[in-house]
Structure 1
Amino acid sequence: MKIDQQTVTFEDVGHWEERAEAALAASDAVFDCSDVCSADSALLALILKWLQEAQQKNLTPQIINLPEGMWSLAKLYGVRSLIRPYCIKTQN
């Protein structure tokens, strides 16, 4: 699933939650954030939920190009170690 939006906030996350569920139902366990420049903690919460659901479905989740701001939030909330193993950076 590719998030094709530059800014993701609490107001947008419901849309992306539905898309994430549909992607997992289709065995798509890639969460591509390449287009995201900024996001709030709602996206981080969605990513954590998505990771848990992907693992429950025995899928191998990948998070592509998590924005730098998400790393800061993940550190703040103490969940950086939960997402790090699934993150792949493909762009500078």
Structure 2
Amino acid sequence: MFDAGLSLTMADAPRALAEGLRALEAGETMFDLARVETLDSAAVALLLAWQRAARARGAVIEFHRLPPALCSLAGLYGVTELLTLISAAQQNQERH
């Protein structure tokens, strides 16, 4: 599972995008956002960019454990339905 790190902001976007693309190239399709503490609208753009890159490879990316602030931003921008979001509750159900 790819760890998105602590910060997904405009300043972090180039690094985060490159790291996520490398993970996708290596075959990783599960992205964990649990450690993200700092974010802005660039975080939503990153999720969409990673998802486009995955689809271009014929893969389906899953975003796990999004921080509430990121879920709110995705909802505010009307893109929640475009993303494959896996909540902590869903993960727990899948394990049982």
How many correspondences in the alignment? Answer: 88
- TM-score (normalised: structure 1): 0.85
Whole-Å Cα distance in 2 between the matches of residues 49 and 74 of structure 1?
13
Deviations 1:17-45 (A, max 9, x none): 11011111111111110101331110110
Question: 1:48 is matched with which residue?
Answer: 48
Q: Is the 8 A contact 2:4 2:20 kept in 1?
A: no
Q: What letter corresponds to residue 50 of structure 1 in structure 2?
A: W
d(CA) in 1 for partners of 2:51 and 2:65?
Answer: 15
CA RMSD of aligned residues (A): 1.4
Displacement after TM superposition at 1:11 (Å): 0.5
The TM-score normalised by the length of structure 2 is 0.82
The structure with the larger Rg is: 2
Q: Which runs of 4+ in 1 moved over 3 A?
A: none
- % identity of equivalent residues: 31
- Give the structure 2 partner of residue 3 of structure 1: 4
For residues 68 and 27 of structure 2, the distance between their equivalents in structure 1, rounded to whole angstroms, comes to: 27
Structure 2, gaps ≥5 residues long: 90-96
Offset from partner CA, 1:5-64 (integer Å, 9 cap, x none): 1x3211011110110111111111111101013311101101001111101211121101
Q: Distance in 2 between matches of 1:18 and 1:41?
A: 17
The CA deviation at 1:73 is 1.0
User: Which residues of structure 1 form unaligned runs of 5+?
Assistant: none
